[in-house]
Amino acid sequence: TLIVGGYAALQSDVFLTQLNMRHILLATAPLALVSMAQFNVLMVRGFDISVGSLMSLVVVLASFLIGMEAGAAGVLSGVIACLVVGGAVGLSNGVLIRYVGINPVITTIAMLSVLQGIALYLRPTPGGVINEAFLELMRMRAGFVPLSFLVIIAAAVAGDYWLYRTRSGLKLRAVGFREEAAKRNGVRVNVVQLRAYFLSGILAVLAGFFLASEVGIGHPTIGQGYTLTSIAAAVLGGAALTGGRGSFLGAVLGALFFTLTINIITLLGLSTGAGTITSGAL
């Protein structure tokens, strides 16, 4: 990240401006959160392909439930409703995978289709203005640094402390390393798996809120590009596709690297296709 950023600073006078730095950090927030969501299920050898569509659905729901005329109570109830939806989606994925026995990729691709369909049904075209006070809350900053980014870093550090310094975190890593051995040692494997998918849904909803703060209206397909990028960012940050390894902070740094790369490609005037190719190559 430092090498790429240093190169960009030499190539563009705009890169190190406070406005551009703030833009990078704001753009990192939704990807960082959805990468943390993806990391939860990667730790238990799973995948959640539905996170991008869940983010889109949250943006659409926010345009209805947290509309321009909503007061403080309305905003709070809208946020809670979206979190309930995210938790229900995560638990549904977990139940279908653990108790029905459907492959994680198949399950979450199916869920992706359902969520995307609901979002398009509710908002066939972008529309519906989201509450400005809510959006401003998501964009609050100290200087040029968004407070949301500082909160995400703190949450990632706390997540890593839980993962590597607590009994429940050890159980999560144990299930990812070797599920049968964890089961023989008394770990309730199904509960750990369900919790991972539940947390993935909750974090994807939070990512959707930050994405809503960028677009400001109900856009039914805005989250499509986040699914595969969230997997890539988590893996770049140290998560193992075989489960049991990685860190929340690593997922955040992977997201920062991806956002930085796309920003540099734009500043250098290269084709937007170059960003997609670079993401795939990485």
- The partner residues of 218 in beta bridges, in order of sequence, read 127
Mean pLDDT of 247-255: 96
Residue 2 to residue 4: CA distance in whole angstroms: 6
Q: Does 267 score more than 90 pLDDT?
A: no
Which amino acid would we find at residue 173? R
CA distance 107 to 236: 24
Nearest-CA neighbor of 199 among 29, 30, 28, 38? 38
Task: Report the pLDDT value the prediction gives residue 68, as an integer from 0 to 100.
Answer: 85
- For residue 254, report the phi and psi dihedrals to the nearest 5 degrees: -60, -40
Determine which of 4-18, 217-231, 243-257, 259-273 has the lowest per-residue pLDDT on average.
Answer: 259-273
Q: Give the phi and the psi of residue 21 in degrees, each rounded to 5.
A: -60, -40
Q: What is the pLDDT of residues 157-213, one digit of tens each?
A: 999 999 999 999 999 999 999 999 999 999 999 999 999 999 999 999 999 999 999
DSSP 17: S
What is the per-residue pLDDT for 72? 87
Strand 127-129 and strand 217-218: the pairing is: antiparallel
Confidence of residue 271 (pLDDT cuts 50, 70, 90): confident
Burial 242-274 (b: 16+ CB within 10 A, else e): ebbebbbbbbbbbbbbbbbbbbbbbeeeeeeee
Measured in degrees and rounded to the nearest 5, phi and psi for residue 142 equal -110, 105
H or E segment and range at residue 127:
strand 127-129
Alpha-carbon torsion, ordered 263, 267, 269, 275, to 10 deg: -10
Q: Could you read off the pLDDT of 57-111 as tens digits, one per residue?
A: 999 999 999 988 888 899 999 999 999 999 999 999 999 999 999 999 999 999 9
- This prediction has a pTM of 0.94
DSSP 59-125: HHHHHHHTBTT--HHHHHHHHHHHHHHHHHHHHHHHHHHHTS---HHHHHHHHHHHHHHHHHHH-SS
By C-alpha distance, which of 215, 211, 220 is closest to 37?
A: 211
> Which of these, 219, 196, 184, 194, lies nearest to 30 by C-alpha position?
219
126 phi/psi in degrees, rounded to 5: -55, 140
